[in-house]
Amino acid sequence: MKAIVCPRYGTPDVLELQEVEKPTLEDNRVLVRVKAASVNPVDRHLMRGGLIRMTGEGLLRPKRKIRGIDVAGQVEAVGRSVTQFRPGDEVFGTGPGAYAEYVCAREDRVVSKPARITFQQAAAMPVAGITALQALRDWGKIRPGQKVLINGASGGVGTFAVQIAKSFGAEVTAVCSTGNVEQAKLLGADRVIDYTREDFARSGERYDLILDNAGNRSLSVLRHTLVPNGTLVLNAAPRGAFIGFIARLLSGLILSKVTPKKVAFHIAKMNRSDLNVLRELVEEGKMTPAIDRSYPLNQVPDAIRYWEEGHARAKIVITV
């Protein structure tokens, strides 16, 4: 099969389209014929190395050479212990090595694809959708009627966050650039702030919950924009400022211990239950994945270069 291989750490130039063997099917996994995948920040971090080398991914060279994690496709075969799926089923979820024609995914990491959306839209959902869902529901404790600010409402997580917050009955303010204002309105935001023309922190408005996907405002500014018992969920760091982000996070954790305002840092945990929540939101018409650009498999390096520019208006997908 064809796959995008990362033989060494570096820029997108190190990525190569190669002919490799199909993954071996294990008892608790499903072999998926990939129809689409999508680009996530983790793909870039795994490609470039940096501090992620210390997490067991390989100190000098990547241990897992095929990149990609979000996947949508058709079940080709199932392992002996698999009970939820059979060949021919259309699914979406996560499977390491998704930038390929086939991927093996754990049975509990994929669910049935909603019929009303395409494979490309389904592939856009897993990591970004679950990140937004867990940030708002689990860390933000979102409730109906709350005022919620999504700072960075135009990226992958942001476009899902706007729709998910609305599904919880919140009053949603989306912050984005001029070119993304109309998209945010179409996604259901009650109010859209163009940050090139207006500073949400100076409006005098206070929010019960802020989800920061941009990492472009100081911790003190974001906390000042909360109501006295409000919650700030951090989901971003300034690009290339990992140490600064750790300091920002630690400061927020310390402040949250001595003031009623809470600060949380969110890392998504993939699971079948939340994939089903996303599926149900789509099936009920409460959420539709937004796609900025689509690239064929052999153009994954171009897709990641585009993501690194920081101007993606929604998800970037890979068609296989």
Distances (CA, A) of 282 to 51, 114, 129, 286, 302: 36, 7, 11, 6, 29
* Structural domains of the chain sorted by starting position, each given as residue range(s) with its CATH number in brackets: 2-125+289-319 (3.90.180.10), 128-265 (3.40.50.720)
Residue 156 CB-half CA count within 13 A = 25
User: In tens digits, what is the pLDDT along the chain, a chain of 320 residues?
Assistant: 999 998 887 788 888 999 999 999 999 999 999 999 999 987 776 666 655 554 546 555 666 788 899 999 999 999 999 999 999 999 999 999 999 999 999 999 999 999 999 999 999 999 999 999 999 999 999 999 999 999 999 989 999 999 999 999 999 999 999 999 999 999 999 999 999 999 999 988 999 999 999 888 888 889 899 999 999 998 865 554 555 566 666 766 666 666 667 888 777 899 999 999 999 999 999 999 999 999 999 999 999 999 988 878 899 999 99
Task: Find the farthest-apart pair of alpha carbons in the chain and give their distance in angstroms, rounded.
Answer: 60
Cα–Cα distance for residue pair 96/104, rounded to 1 Å: 8
The three-class DSSP label of residue 247 is: helix
| Backbone dihedral angles phi then psi of residue 173, each to the nearest 5 degrees | -110, 125
Side chain identity at residue 110, one-letter code: V
Q: Which residue has the tokens 């389209």?
A: 17
Distances (CA, A) of 191 to 172, 174, 183, 194, 224: 7, 6, 12, 10, 20
pTM across the whole model: 0.91
